[in-house]
């Protein structure tokens, strides 16, 4: 075929019905609806989206930079308004932090960013010679706004800085901080009176700095799904708008000072749609307040998820956060923070901080994503998912408001219970390995050893006012099991599971690998036999290894022929041994095998967390 012919070649158009016929043929007669999947948000995802999927929404009529800002708040996207790289530097002193920030700025970072813990001093050494006129600032004050904002203003006065030229974010989210700590002020009304007074004062001195943060990462890191996270964020924002107006601030003053902060996990398309839906809904609230939508352009800070972080195989966190950061950028954020990959090890270091910063620089400089305005726009899937999220979030938001608002539901524990329910679903899915955590519940590195993560041992003994929302991680159940196994290995013999393979290699290898993967995810080693064909070979292996638990691995055909006999022989000679069998069998064979001494069957529908816990108990691991 000649080049000109290739250029003019076209394919016959196919309808959705044609596709369904072809799909069901490949599914061997099963309905194509079998490919639908349900999300934690209660949204059913379809295997294919077409233009017909958009028939009930107006996404195709929306433009970047225009109401309702679904496609971004800037007409030209990142071309003229690049996102800010907000990587905080960690240090033991103000001087060290200052030096590290100067270095970061010289290496591509374009925002001044510190953790709130460094703001307790006079700020002279921390902020010395930083280019506030040229570079925006982003600091989450984490409940320290009452003292930090006045001290920042004092520093600016002493340094003769023109505060009108300083831009960025010096903000906090009191409600989110209270939710995380489980503590409320003794007088909430008086607290808000003082807080809004400080915001109003800061507005006069720092007109281009946002001072109200809506930090939904607190809910996300507790386990919340995307619908809950955005709905809680909108409910917080509305609470601050209403309270602020009560204390004398105008709606324009308040909306100008608000910045939203969302956490981004590994569900790529859901997170893109989450950011787009959040912008759309915030803009739509303008109508409820009877003002121009220009007041409700949502400025978004995004931070990578803590829920998805893992202690083991820590370098995989680099890949996770890169995916999350990419979703945030495609979703149209203004500020972005990536957690260092080894944060859980409590070893903040220049290398990890540099990798986090360079991940953003690669996205900015090498992917050319900055040159495309709203890269997700027009995707049938993303547009449909955005619309479905918009409807679900709006419904949830109205529910919150009808029940007295965000603060009332936190006091009752309603929100905490909702989040906990979702996290239990996440744990269940990882426990059954319906969702994979690379290096943790699948493909673990058995040679890797880690120290238990550092935690703050000084827990407050003060009474709680509300149920706190803790930081949760889906990998933690597996990690705790593996840490137990490793601690036991240090004080005695490493826990091991015997793998009795029967028949030929090609017959047992898949199931043997499956069992070794399960045991490895719990820090349990394995000793594998050669393919056994006789009772004598099986008993010789058990005698030689003398372990407490064994798992038989083979093909279904070999199980029918020899598994029951092997199990009976082991239990007759070693009644104290615990026997398992890899693979689910039909009910009659399972009944026969259980009578022969098999305790349980390990297969793809097994709750791996439960079986690992059971194995450690059998192996006398405390």
pLDDT at position 5: 78
Same domain, 357 and 485: no
Cβ atoms of 533 and 502 within 8 Å: the answer is: yes
250-264, 283-297, 458-472, 556-570: segment of lowest average pLDDT:
458-472
Tell me the percentage of the chain whose pLDDT exceeds 90: 87
Q: Which of 418, 435, 451 is the last residue of a domain?
A: 418
pLDDT for 604 beyond 70: yes
pLDDT at residue 461, rounded to an integer: 52
DSSP per position, 124-181: HHHHTT--TTTS-EEEE-TT-HHHHHHHHHHHHHHTT--GGG-EEEEEE-HHHHHHHH
The answer to the question of residue 16 being in a domain is no
- Residues 343, 231: one domain? yes
Are residues 507 and 401 located together in one domain of the fold?
A: no
Tell me which residue range forms the domain holding 286.
Answer: 69-368+375-418
Strands 525-528 and 549-553: unpaired
Same domain, 138 and 230: yes
d(CA 377, CA 341): 31
Check whether 246 has a pLDDT greater than 70.
Answer: yes
| Range from 446-450, 537-541, 592-596 carrying the lowest mean pLDDT | 446-450
94-109 average pLDDT score: 96
Q: Is the pLDDT of residue 580 over 90?
A: yes
Q: Do 532 and 392 have their domain in common?
A: no
Residues 108-120: what's their mean pLDDT? 94
Query: What average pLDDT does this structure show over 222-243?
Result: 98
Query: 242 vs 22, 141, 190, CA distance in Å?
Result: 55, 22, 15
For the domain that residue 227 is a member of, what is the CATH number? 3.20.20.240
Q: Are both 393 and 301 inside the same structural domain? A: yes
106 and 176 share a domain? Answer: yes
My answer on whether 406 and 489 are in the same domain is no
pLDDT for 460 equals: 56
- Of 121-125, 218-222, 381-385, 399-403, the range with the lowest mean pLDDT is 121-125
Verify that 493 and 392 share a domain, yes or no. no
Query: Tens digit of pLDDT for each residue in 464-475?
Result: 999 999 999 999
pLDDT exceeds cutoff 80 at 459: no
pLDDT score, position 455 = 59
Mean pLDDT, range 234-245, rounded to an integer = 98
DSSP H or E run through 85 = strand 84-85
Residue 289 forms part of a structural domain: yes
* Per-residue pLDDT at 457: 46
- Does 596 fall in a domain? yes
Task: Tell whether the model's pLDDT for residue 462 goes beyond 70.
Answer: no
Is 55 a residue whose pLDDT tops 80?
Answer: no
Q: Are residues 390 and 280 in the same domain?
A: yes
Q: Is residue 469 part of a domain?
A: no
Asked if residue 542 has a cis previous peptide bond (ω within 30° of 0), the answer is no
- pLDDT surpassing 90 at residue 575: yes
Cα 462–chain centre separation: 30
The mean pLDDT value for 90-100 works out to 94
**396 shares a domain with 281:** yes
Task: Say which range, 36-40, 153-157, 255-259, 328-332, has the weakest mean pLDDT.
Answer: 153-157
Residue in this structure with the two tokens 């309270």, named with its chain if needed: 243
pLDDT in tens, 170-228: 999 999 999 999 999 999 999 999 999 999 999 999 999 999 999 999 999 999 999 99
Q: Please indicate, yes or no, if residue 471 is contained in any of the structural domains.
A: no
Domain check: are 541 and 412 in the same one? no
Of 7 and 478, more confident: 478
pLDDT of residue 14 exceeding 90, the answer is no
Do 552 and 583 contact (CB within 8 A), yes or no?
no
Mean pLDDT of the chain: 94
Pairing of strands 300-304, 258-264: parallel
Asked if pLDDT for residue 603 goes beyond 90, the answer is yes
Each residue of 312-324: pLDDT tens digit?
Answer: 999 999 999 999 9
In a domain, 28, yes or no: no
What would the mean pLDDT of 382-410 be, rounded to a whole number? 98
Give whichever of 20-24, 273-277, 459-463 has the largest mean pLDDT.
273-277
- The band of 56, judged by pLDDT with boundaries at 50, 70 and 90, is low
Task: Report pTM.
Answer: 0.94
Percentage of the chain surpassing pLDDT 70? 97
CATH for 485 = 3.40.50.280
Task: Say yes or no to pLDDT of 463 above 90.
Answer: no
Say how many domains are in the chain: 2
**Cβ(609)–Cβ(477) below 8 Å:** yes
pLDDT > 80? residue 562: yes
Domain-embedded: residue 454: no
Domain-located, residue 155: yes
At residue 402 the predicted structure's pLDDT band, cuts being 50, 70 and 90, is very high
């Amino acid at each position: 075929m000649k080049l000109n012919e290739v250029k003019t070649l076209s394919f016959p158009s196919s309808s959705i019905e044609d596709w369904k016929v072809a799909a069901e043929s490949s599914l061997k007669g099963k309905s194509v609806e079998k490919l639908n999947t349900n999300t934690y948000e209660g949204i059913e995802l379809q295997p294919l989206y077409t233009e017909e999927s958009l028939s009930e929404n107006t996404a195709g009529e929306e433009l970047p930079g225009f109401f309702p800002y679904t496609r971004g708040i800037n007409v030209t996207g990142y071309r003229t308004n690049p996102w800010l790289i907000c990587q905080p530097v960690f240090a033991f002193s103000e001087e060290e932090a200052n030096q590290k920030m100067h270095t970061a700025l010289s290496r591509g970072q374009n925002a001044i960013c510190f953790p709130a813990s460094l703001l307790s001093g006079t700020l002279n050494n921390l902020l010395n010679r930083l280019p506030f006129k040229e570079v925006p600032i982003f600091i989450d004050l984490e409940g320290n706004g009452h003292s930090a904002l006045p001290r920042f203003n004092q520093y600016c006065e002493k340094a003769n800085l023109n505060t009108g030229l300083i831009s960025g974010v010096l903000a906090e989210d009191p409600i989110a901080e209270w939710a995380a700590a489980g503590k409320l002020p003794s007088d909430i009304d008086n607290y808000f009176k003082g807080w809004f007074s400080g915001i109003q004062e800061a507005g006069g001195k720092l007109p281009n700095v946002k001072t109200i943060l809506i930090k939904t990462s607190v809910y996300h890191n507790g386990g919340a799904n995307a619908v809950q996270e955005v709905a809680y964020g909108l409910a917080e924002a509305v609470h601050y708008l209403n309270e602020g107006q009560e204390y004398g601030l105008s709606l324009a003053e308040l909306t100008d000072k608000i910045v939203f902060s969302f956490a981004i996990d590994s569900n790529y398309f859901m997170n893109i749609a989450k950011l787009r839906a959040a912008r759309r809904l915030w803009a739509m609230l303008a109508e409820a307040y009877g003002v121009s939508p220009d007041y409700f352009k949502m400025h978004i800070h995004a931070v990578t998820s803590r829920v998805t972080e893992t202690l083991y195989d820590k370098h995989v966190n680099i890949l996770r956060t890169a995916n999350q950061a990419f979703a945030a950028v495609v979703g149209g954020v203004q500020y972005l923070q990536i957690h260092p990959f080894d944060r859980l090890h409590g070893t903040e270091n220049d290398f990890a901080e540099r990798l986090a910063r360079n991940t953003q620089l690669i996205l900015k400089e090498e992917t050319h994503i900055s040159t495309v305005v709203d890269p997700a726009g027009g995707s049938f899937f993303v547009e449909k998912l955005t619309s479905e999220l918009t409807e679900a979030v709006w419904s949830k938001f109205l529910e919150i408001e009808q029940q007295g608002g965000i603060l009332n539901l936190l006091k009752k524990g309603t929100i905490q219970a909702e989040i906990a329910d979702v996290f239990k679903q996440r744990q269940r899915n990882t426990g059954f390995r319906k969702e994979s955590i690379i290096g943790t519940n699948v493909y673990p590195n058995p040679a890797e050893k880690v120290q238990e993560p550092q935690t703050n041992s000084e827990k407050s003994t003060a009474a709680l006012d509300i149920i706190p929302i803790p930081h949760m991680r889906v990998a933690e159940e597996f990690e705790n099991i593996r840490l137990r196994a490793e601690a036991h290995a240090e004080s005695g013999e490493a826990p091991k599971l015997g793998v009795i393979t029967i028949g030929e290699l090609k017959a047992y290898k898949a199931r043997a690998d499956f069992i070794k993967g399960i045991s490895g995810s719990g820090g349990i080693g394995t000793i594998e036999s050669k393919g056994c064909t006789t009772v004598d070979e099986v008993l010789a292996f058990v005698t030689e290894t003398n372990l407490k638990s064994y798992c038989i691995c083979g093909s279904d055909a070999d199980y029918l022929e020899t598994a029951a006999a092997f199990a009976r022989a082991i239990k007759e000679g070693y009644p104290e041994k615990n026997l398992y069998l890899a693979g689910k069998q039909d009910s009659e064979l399972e009944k026969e095998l259980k009578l022969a001494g098999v305790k349980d069957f390990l297969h793809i529908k097994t709750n791996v967390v439960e079986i690992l816990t059971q194995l450690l108990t059998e192996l006398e691991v405390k």
